[in-house]
């Protein structure tokens, strides 16, 4: 009734009232319809924007509406997934830097420029895969890879079709071809046997120049407790083996113990990873692996350097492998690996530089590049947020000022009625961020005058406000987005003045009982 355009003769007030009236009308349409109101009560305005509600049966309980909302969201997600190819890629560049520590001085004396260490790239590997959802249950995957090592290499391409048979399992068929091993046909099946146990079976046939090369593997896993998994795998083929492993993953650590008995490799491996509970998700890790091939000790660290990037460095020390530094950068779905082979021997100098070098390089890059870049990005985001908030605040402020203008006549009548019975009169009302005398001098108060909107809410000498933020009340707006706000009132009841201060989300009812008693006495 307050915002109805017909109640205002002034053309400008009539135009402004029409805008606010349309908003009230939209809210009324939602709240007066039991179906729409149930959606709004559960999901808010966002739920009303989901497509598909118009075909849903209207006589539904809140639980049924929630299930329907989740179904519509799943369908929306499925449509979005159908448009995505989900690309994944890996690039690995092997570097031979053994000349830094294992130099042959006699050969270098005969070569021009032989005083400089010779560092070369001796191997590369590139792999890429994409997915294409065919139906809600079928997905096709295309993958390929190229590898080269010391001047010779090869490649292969694979096509896989996966079908989800039920909530408990799926199966996939794989077809592959390469320039060295020949065509490949494979089958893989996954099945949840119980809620705590699952099984994976895989078999394949490789058509190599030397004849058929069949292979088969079977793996079962079981949850031993909430954070521990046990695995048992049997593999038959070119590298036959039986492997058992225990994996414990908690919020602060990750532990793995594995034992393999096979031909030609048998080993015992133990690894531990500690997870720091910091913003950068820092992890330190170490592992020991020993078997017929020798013994390898690895240690390293991993850290998140940006929103989508993770950097890790690992030092591998082994007999007879020597010392290798492995650098890994993961960005979104792409992985970049740089294994740098430093020496074939166990040289303390190689271990020292492999450990200290990456740390110094990371500190330098982090302070000179990453921190300034991240800071610039955050400042840019804050600036965009401030501009967006400024536009929204200006719009809300205009709506609030318009509402206050439209309230003037109603407020005048309410004050006359309250004065005639010595009821509730709002003398002053302020809303926003108040600054005390002990606050910093540069801090400024950000408050707005809400005397008129509060008086307009007075009914039968009472003002009742709920615990919701007062910024959503008619004639209000948020003068300091993201900051703590409060409401300060000076009112008169039964001829006696009272003052009240309440937090933004604190319910308020005036006059208070103590003020009623004081006025009556």
Of residues 399, 393, 377, 376, the one with CA closest to residue 483: 393
For 69, phi and psi rounded to 5 degrees? -60, -45
| Global confidence as pTM | 0.61
Would you state the structure tokens that stand for residue 379, as one six-digit string?
Answer: 């400042």
Strand partners, 289: 269, 296
Neighbours of 320 (CB within 10 A): 10
- Distance between CA 411 and CA 417 in Å, rounded? 10
**Helix segments in 288-370, DSSP class H:** 348-365
Bond into 511 cis (ω within 30) = yes
For the chain, 521 residues long, give each residue's pLDDT as a single digit of tens.
Answer: 777 777 777 777 777 778 788 888 888 888 888 777 777 776 677 666 655 544 344 445 556 666 666 777 777 766 665 556 778 899 999 999 988 887 655 554 555 555 677 888 989 999 999 988 888 889 999 999 999 988 888 899 999 999 999 989 999 999 999 877 789 999 999 999 998 999 999 999 988 878 888 999 999 999 999 999 999 999 998 889 999 999 999 999 999 999 999 988 899 999 999 999 888 889 999 999 999 888 999 999 999 887 788 999 999 999 888 999 999 999 888 999 999 999 988 889 999 999 999 899 988 988 888 888 888 888 887 777 767 677 778 888 888 888 888 888 889 999 999 998 888 999 999 998 887 655 444 456 688 999 999 999 998 889 999 888 888 888 898 887 777 889 999 999 888 889 999 888 889 898 877 655 555 55
pLDDT for 434: 83
Angle at 88 between CA 164 and CA 369, to 5 degrees: 145
* CB-CB neighbours of 478 under 10 Å: 23
User: Could you give the 3-state DSSP secondary structure of residue 324?
Assistant: strand
Give me the count of residues in the chain: 521
**284-306 per-residue burial string, b: 16 or more CB within 10 A, e: under 16:** ebebebbbeeeebebebbbbbbe
Q: In angstroms, rounded to a whole number, what is the distance separating the alpha carbons of residues 393 and 405?
A: 18
Helix (H) or strand (E) holding 157: strand 152-166
- Distance, in Å, from the CA atom of 75 to the CA atom of 80, rounded to the nearest integer, reads 9
Q: Which two tokens stand for residue 340?
A: 């740098």
Distances (CA, A) of 440 to 436, 437, 488, 507: 9, 8, 21, 29
Annotate 77-96 with DSSP letters as a single string. HHHHHHT----EEEEEEEEE
Beta bridge partners of 294: 291
CB 510 within 8 A of CB 424: yes
**Predicted pLDDT at 56:** 45
Omega of the bond leading into 320 within 30 degrees of 0 (cis) = yes
Torsion of CA 96, 101, 105, 110, to 10 degrees: 30
Query: Distance between CA 327 and CA 175 in Å, rounded?
Result: 33
Q: How far apart are CA 508 and CA 457, in angstroms?
A: 12
Q: From the centroid of its chain, how far is CA 240?
A: 40
- Predicted local confidence at residue 46, as pLDDT: 66
d(CA 39, CA 35): 7
* Spatial distance between the Cα atoms of 216 and 233, rounded to a whole number of angstroms: 11
Cis peptide preceding 118, ω within 30 of 0: no
The 8-class DSSP code of residue 366 comes to: I
Helix, strand, or coil (residue 449): strand
Please name which of 263, 313, 317, 328 lies closest in space to residue 289, comparing C-alpha atoms: 317
CA distances from 392 to 137, 399, 438 (A): 44, 11, 31
Q: How far apart are CA 162 and CA 188, in angstroms?
A: 9
DSSP class of 33 = S
Q: What is the b/e burial string over 168-183, where b = at least 16 CB atoms within 10 angstroms of the residue's CB?
A: ebbebebebebeebbe
* Sign (positive or negative) of CA dihedral 59, 63, 66, 72: negative
């Amino acid at each position: 009734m307050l915002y109805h355009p017909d109640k205002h003769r002034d053309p400008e007030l009539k135009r402004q009232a029409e805008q606010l009236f349309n908003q009230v009308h939209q809210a009324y349409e939602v709240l007066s319809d039991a179906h729409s109101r149930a959606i709004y009560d559960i999901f808010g305005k966002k739920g009303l924007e989901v497509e598909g509600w118009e075909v849903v049966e209207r006589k539904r309980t809140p639980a049924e509406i929630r299930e329907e909302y989740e179904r519509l969201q799943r369908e929306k997600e499925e449509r979005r997934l159908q448009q995505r190819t989900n690309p994944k890629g890996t690039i690995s560049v092997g570097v031979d830097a053994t000349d830094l520590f294992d130099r042959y001085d006699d050969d270098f004396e005969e070569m021009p420029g032989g005083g400089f260490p010779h560092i070369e790239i001796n191997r590369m590997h590139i792999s890429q895969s994409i997915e294409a959802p065919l139906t809600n249950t079928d997905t096709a995957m295309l993958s390929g890879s190229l590898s080269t090592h010391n001047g010779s290499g090869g490649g292969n391409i694979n096509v896989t079709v996966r079908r989800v048979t039920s909530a408990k399992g799926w199966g996939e068929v794989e077809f592959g071809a390469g320039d060295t091993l020949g065509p490949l046909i494979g089958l893989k099946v996954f099945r949840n046997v119980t809620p705590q146990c699952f099984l994976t079976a895989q078999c394949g046939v490789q058509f190599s120049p030397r004849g058929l090369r069949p292979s088969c593997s079977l793996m079962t896993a079981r949850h031993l407790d909430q954070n521990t998994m046990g695995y048992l795998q049997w593999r038959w083929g070119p590298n036959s083996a039986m492997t058992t492993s225990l994996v414990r993953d908690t919020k602060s650590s990750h532990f793995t113990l594995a034992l393999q008995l096979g031909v030609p490799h048998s080993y015992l491996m133990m690894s531990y990873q500690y997870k720091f509970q910091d913003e950068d998700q820092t992890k330190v890790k170490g592992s020991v692996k020993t078997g017929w091939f020798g013994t390898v000790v690895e240690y390293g660290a991993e850290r998140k350097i940006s929103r989508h990037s993770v950097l890790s460095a690992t030092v591998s020390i082994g007999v007879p492998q020597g010392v290798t530094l492995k650098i890994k950068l993961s960005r979104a779905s792409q992985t970049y690996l740089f294994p740098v082979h430093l020496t074939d021997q166990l040289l303390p100098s190689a271990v020292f530089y492999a450990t200290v070098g990456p740390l110094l390089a990371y500190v330098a890059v982090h302070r000179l590049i990453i921190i300034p870049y991240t800071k610039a990005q955050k400042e840019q985001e804050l600036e965009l947020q401030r501009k967006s908030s400024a536009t929204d605040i200006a719009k809300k402020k205009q709506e609030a000022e318009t509402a206050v203008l439209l309230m003037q006549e109603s407020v005048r009548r309410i004050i006359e009625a309250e004065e005639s019975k010595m009821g509730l009169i709002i003398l002053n009302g302020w809303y926003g961020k108040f600054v005390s005398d002990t606050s910093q001098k540069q801090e400024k108060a950000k408050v707005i005058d809400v005397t008129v909107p509060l008086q307009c809410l007075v009914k039968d000498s009472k003002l009742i406000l709920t615990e919701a933020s007062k910024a959503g009340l008619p004639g209000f707006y948020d003068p300091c987005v993201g900051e703590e706000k409060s409401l300060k009132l000076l009112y008169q009841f039964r001829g006696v003045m009272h003052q009240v201060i309440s937090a933004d989300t604190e319910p308020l009812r005036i006059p208070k009982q103590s003020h009623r008693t004081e006025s009556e006495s």
